[in-house]
Amino acid sequence: MQTTNRIVIAGGSGFLGLNLAEYLTELDYEVVLLSRNEPRRQGTWRFVRWDARSVGEWCRELEGAAAIVNLAGRTVDCIKTPDHCDEILRSRVEATEVLGKAVRNIQTPPPVWVQMSTAHRYGDPPECVCDEDSAFGYGLAPFVAREWEAAYARAVLPEMRQVILRTSFVVGRNGGALSRLSKLVRWGLGGTVGSGQQGMSWIHELDMNRLFFRAITAESMQGAYIATAPKPVSNAEFMRALRKSLKRPIGLPAANWMVRIGAPLLMRTDPELALYGRYCVSRRLREEGFEFSYSDLESALRDIYA
């Protein structure tokens, strides 16, 4: 039986974890962040160190907790060297597996485990609009997502309510990829990237937090959902809206060859993150009546940059 209002966020020291921790503590939940490193900002949550690989004293935080939210995994915003690809995969799979060991070592496991995954599981189709029933894609990210979700299926206890959120591009104030894009716009480089037709599926940070909260508290939520706003846009549309929000009417476009040279040299990241994308919508959230606070990109960016 659940004995506390404690929510444990594994891998909680990053952009998504800290935003969620702030949201939950404002709702009077006790929040524990499991992380290798101390969070970049302080709050009323507690930080507990773990290595995301081995069972330790941190397991006691799960005893009687209301929920686990697992966000653990190395950032994909990097140059995809073989070592980095290995870390991207292992960090997700190993963290999920050790949480599975932990819930088997305590008397009162949490009744729900909310697991993050990625909408990149659907690959990079140039035109197809993907929902939860769409075919999965080909490449590194779909492979990592498949192994991540398979590790979750092995780790989670059968009696726990299971929710997977396949997350799209989260736009928010205090970090994430939007902060990189906004810098480019301010430097006058925020034009169309590549063809400009690649899909950008996005969700406002508030709606992401509301989705996490719904997954934690709503008994009706079960299984996999795409965590994305209902109106994906092309890269050209996204950059145009971002320039408008930042009052930068002009942005130099970047051809494919420029991105392939500049992304690793100047941004220390993978050019394919900018050159490819996907259009995703959530059939399940629509059918279950989830109402987005920010369903269109312009209102979402207006809120962030107000």
Question: What are the φ/ψ torsions at residue 147 (nearest 5 degrees)?
Answer: -70, -35
> pLDDT confidence of 1, banded at 50, 70, 90?
very low
Whose tokens are 């959120």? That residue is 165
> Per-residue pLDDT averaged across 103-107, rounded?
97
CB 32 within 8 A of CB 45: yes
The pair of structure tokens assigned to 302 is 């207006």
pLDDT in tens, 165-212: 999 999 999 888 899 999 999 999 999 999 999 999 999 999 999 999
Distances (CA, A) of 187 to 172, 194, 236, 241, 248: 20, 18, 17, 16, 9
- Give the whole-number percent of the chain exceeding pLDDT 90: 94
Q: How many residues does the chain have?
A: 306
pLDDT in tens, 115-154: 999 999 999 998 899 999 999 999 999 999 999 999 999 9
Paired with 134 in beta bridges are: none
Q: Beta strand 233-234 with 199-200: parallel, antiparallel or unpaired?
A: antiparallel
Q: Comparing C-alpha atoms, which of 24, 64, 27 is closest to residue 46?
A: 24
| pLDDT value at residue 3 | 57
> How many helices (H) and strands (E) would you count in the chain?
10, 13
pLDDT in tens, 89-104: 999 999 999 999 999 9
Paired with 165 in beta bridges are: 116, 225
pLDDT in tens, 60-78: 999 999 999 999 999 999 9
Paired with 47 in beta bridges are: 33
Which is more confident, 31 or 126?
A: 31
Question: What are the φ/ψ torsions at residue 94 (nearest 5 degrees)?
Answer: -70, -40
Output the 3-class SS for 15-57.
HHHHHHHHHHHHCCCEEEEEECCCCCCCCCCEEEECCCCCCCH
| pLDDT value at residue 266 | 86
d(C-alpha 233, C-alpha 166), whole Å: 18
Say how many C-beta atoms besides its own lie within 10 A of residue 133's C-beta.
7
d(C-alpha 228, C-alpha 234), whole Å: 14
> Per-residue pLDDT averaged across 22-30, rounded?
97
pLDDT in tens, 242-297: 999 999 999 999 999 999 999 999 889 999 999 999 999 999 999 999 999 999 99
Q: Comparing C-alpha atoms, which of 263, 39, 228 is closest to residue 132?
A: 228
